[in-house]
Protein backbone atom coordinates (compact mmCIF):
# COMPACT_ATOMS: atom_id res chain seq x y z
CA UNK A 1 0.00 0.00 0.00
CA UNK A 2 2.83 2.39 0.78
CA UNK A 3 4.21 1.94 -2.70
CA UNK A 4 0.87 2.61 -4.39
CA UNK A 5 0.48 5.75 -2.31
CA UNK A 6 3.99 6.87 -3.15
CA UNK A 7 3.39 6.44 -6.88
CA UNK A 8 0.20 8.47 -6.62
CA UNK A 9 1.73 11.30 -4.59
CA UNK A 10 4.84 11.71 -6.72
CA UNK A 11 2.90 11.59 -9.98
CA UNK A 12 0.96 14.70 -8.94
CA UNK A 13 4.10 16.72 -8.10
CA UNK A 14 5.11 16.86 -11.76
CA UNK A 15 1.73 17.85 -13.18
CA UNK A 16 2.66 21.52 -13.82
CA UNK A 17 5.78 20.95 -15.90
CA UNK A 18 4.21 19.58 -19.11
CA UNK A 19 1.58 22.32 -19.21
CA UNK A 20 3.90 25.35 -19.04
CA UNK A 21 3.48 26.17 -22.75
CA UNK A 22 -0.28 25.91 -22.30
CA UNK A 23 -0.23 28.24 -19.28
CA UNK A 24 1.77 30.72 -21.35
CA UNK A 25 -0.70 30.57 -24.24
CA UNK A 26 -3.97 30.39 -22.25
CA UNK A 27 -3.15 33.30 -19.95
CA UNK A 28 -1.09 35.35 -22.46
CA UNK A 29 1.92 35.60 -20.18
CA UNK A 30 5.65 35.36 -20.74
CA UNK A 31 7.48 32.06 -20.31
CA UNK A 32 9.04 33.50 -17.16
CA UNK A 33 5.67 34.13 -15.55
CA UNK A 34 4.36 30.71 -16.63
CA UNK A 35 7.41 29.05 -15.11
CA UNK A 36 6.40 30.39 -11.69
CA UNK A 37 4.11 27.37 -11.50
CA UNK A 38 7.19 25.14 -11.31
CA UNK A 39 9.26 27.58 -9.23
CA UNK A 40 6.60 27.47 -6.56
CA UNK A 41 7.39 23.77 -6.12
CA UNK A 42 10.72 24.77 -4.60
CA UNK A 43 9.13 27.44 -2.40
CA UNK A 44 6.53 24.91 -1.23
CA UNK A 45 9.33 22.48 -0.36
CA UNK A 46 11.11 25.13 1.69
CA UNK A 47 7.89 26.07 3.48
CA UNK A 48 7.22 22.42 4.23
CA UNK A 49 10.53 22.19 6.06
CA UNK A 50 9.35 25.00 8.33
CA UNK A 51 5.89 23.61 9.06
CA UNK A 52 6.65 19.91 9.21
CA UNK A 53 6.10 18.84 12.76
CA UNK A 54 6.04 15.77 14.94
CA UNK A 55 2.22 15.50 14.82
CA UNK A 56 2.50 11.97 13.57
CA UNK A 57 2.96 10.58 10.13
CA UNK A 58 -0.68 9.64 9.60
CA UNK A 59 -1.92 13.12 10.38
CA UNK A 60 0.71 14.71 8.14
CA UNK A 61 -0.23 12.38 5.28
CA UNK A 62 -3.89 13.24 5.59
CA UNK A 63 -3.28 16.98 5.96
CA UNK A 64 -0.96 16.91 2.96
CA UNK A 65 -3.35 15.02 0.69
CA UNK A 66 -6.29 17.23 1.64
CA UNK A 67 -4.20 20.36 1.06
CA UNK A 68 -3.18 19.03 -2.35
CA UNK A 69 -6.79 18.24 -3.30
CA UNK A 70 -7.91 21.71 -2.18
CA UNK A 71 -5.15 23.23 -4.29
CA UNK A 72 -6.37 21.37 -7.35
CA UNK A 73 -9.89 22.67 -6.79
CA UNK A 74 -8.61 26.25 -6.33
CA UNK A 75 -6.78 25.98 -9.65
CA UNK A 76 -10.11 25.56 -11.44
CA UNK A 77 -11.23 29.14 -10.72
CA UNK A 78 -9.76 30.34 -13.99
CA UNK A 79 -7.38 33.22 -13.41
CA UNK A 80 -3.62 32.85 -13.54
CA UNK A 81 -3.24 33.90 -9.91
CA UNK A 82 -5.72 31.28 -8.64
CA UNK A 83 -4.19 28.65 -10.91
CA UNK A 84 -0.71 29.37 -9.56
CA UNK A 85 -2.04 29.52 -5.98
CA UNK A 86 -3.76 26.19 -6.51
CA UNK A 87 -0.60 24.61 -7.90
CA UNK A 88 1.32 25.99 -4.92
CA UNK A 89 -1.15 24.35 -2.52
CA UNK A 90 -0.93 21.12 -4.52
CA UNK A 91 2.86 21.11 -4.20
CA UNK A 92 2.76 22.12 -0.54
CA UNK A 93 0.38 19.28 0.25
CA UNK A 94 2.46 16.75 -1.64
CA UNK A 95 5.68 17.90 -0.01
CA UNK A 96 4.00 17.49 3.39
CA UNK A 97 2.91 13.97 2.45
CA UNK A 98 6.09 12.68 0.84
CA UNK A 99 8.46 12.74 3.84
CA UNK A 100 5.82 11.18 6.08
CA UNK A 101 5.26 8.40 3.54
CA UNK A 102 9.00 7.94 3.19
CA UNK A 103 9.35 7.62 6.96
CA UNK A 104 6.73 4.89 6.99
CA UNK A 105 9.10 2.69 4.97
CA UNK A 106 11.34 2.32 8.02
CA UNK A 107 8.37 1.73 10.29
CA UNK A 108 6.78 -0.95 8.13
CA UNK A 109 9.87 -2.70 6.74
CA UNK A 110 10.33 -4.98 9.77
CA UNK A 111 14.00 -5.59 9.09
CA UNK A 112 13.98 -5.66 5.29
CA UNK A 113 15.07 -2.05 4.98
CA UNK A 114 17.14 -2.40 1.81
CA UNK A 115 14.35 -4.13 -0.13
CA UNK A 116 11.70 -1.78 1.21
CA UNK A 117 13.78 1.28 0.37
CA UNK A 118 14.45 -0.03 -3.14
CA UNK A 119 10.76 -0.65 -3.75
CA UNK A 120 9.91 2.78 -2.39
CA UNK A 121 12.36 4.46 -4.75
CA UNK A 122 11.10 2.42 -7.70
CA UNK A 123 7.52 3.54 -7.09
CA UNK A 124 8.67 7.09 -6.37
CA UNK A 125 10.22 7.36 -9.83
CA UNK A 126 7.38 5.43 -11.45
CA UNK A 127 4.99 8.01 -10.01
CA UNK A 128 7.14 10.82 -11.37
CA UNK A 129 7.10 9.25 -14.82
CA UNK A 130 3.33 8.81 -14.74
CA UNK A 131 2.90 12.39 -13.52
CA UNK A 132 5.08 13.77 -16.29
CA UNK A 133 3.55 11.73 -19.13
CA UNK A 134 -0.16 11.49 -18.32
CA UNK A 135 -1.40 15.11 -18.11
CA UNK A 136 -0.58 15.99 -21.74
CA UNK A 137 -2.96 13.54 -23.43
CA UNK A 138 -5.62 14.23 -20.80
CA UNK A 139 -5.26 17.98 -21.48
CA UNK A 140 -5.68 17.42 -25.22
CA UNK A 141 -9.03 15.71 -24.65
CA UNK A 142 -10.55 17.37 -21.55
CA UNK A 143 -8.43 20.46 -20.81
CA UNK A 144 -7.38 21.55 -17.34
CA UNK A 145 -10.53 20.23 -15.68
CA UNK A 146 -9.63 16.76 -16.99
CA UNK A 147 -6.12 17.05 -15.57
CA UNK A 148 -7.58 18.14 -12.22
CA UNK A 149 -10.01 15.20 -12.27
CA UNK A 150 -7.13 12.81 -13.01
CA UNK A 151 -5.05 14.26 -10.17
CA UNK A 152 -7.98 14.13 -7.74
CA UNK A 153 -8.48 10.45 -8.60
CA UNK A 154 -4.78 9.81 -8.03
CA UNK A 155 -4.94 11.63 -4.70
CA UNK A 156 -7.92 9.50 -3.67
CA UNK A 157 -5.93 6.35 -4.49
CA UNK A 158 -3.07 7.71 -2.37
CA UNK A 159 -5.41 8.60 0.50
CA UNK A 160 -7.02 5.16 0.48
CA UNK A 161 -3.69 3.34 0.17
CA UNK A 162 -1.92 5.34 2.84
CA UNK A 163 -4.93 5.32 5.20
CA UNK A 164 -5.10 1.55 4.90
CA UNK A 165 -1.40 1.28 5.61
CA UNK A 166 -1.62 3.58 8.62
CA UNK A 167 -4.32 1.38 10.20
CA UNK A 168 -2.16 -1.76 9.95
Neighbours of 115 (CB within 10 A): 10
pLDDT tens digit sequence for 87-123? 888 888 888 888 777 777 777 787 888 888 888 888 8
CATH architecture of 2-167: Up-down Bundle (1.20)
pLDDT tens digit sequence for 20-64? 777 778 778 888 877 776 677 667 766 666 666 566 777 888 888
pTM exceeds cut of 0.75 = no
Domain layout of the chain by residue ranges: 2-167
Amino acid sequence: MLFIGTTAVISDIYVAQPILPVLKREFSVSPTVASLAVSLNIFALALTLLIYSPHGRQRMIHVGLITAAFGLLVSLWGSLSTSVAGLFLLCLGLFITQPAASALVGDKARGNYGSASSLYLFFYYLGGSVGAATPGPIWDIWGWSGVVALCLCILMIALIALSTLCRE
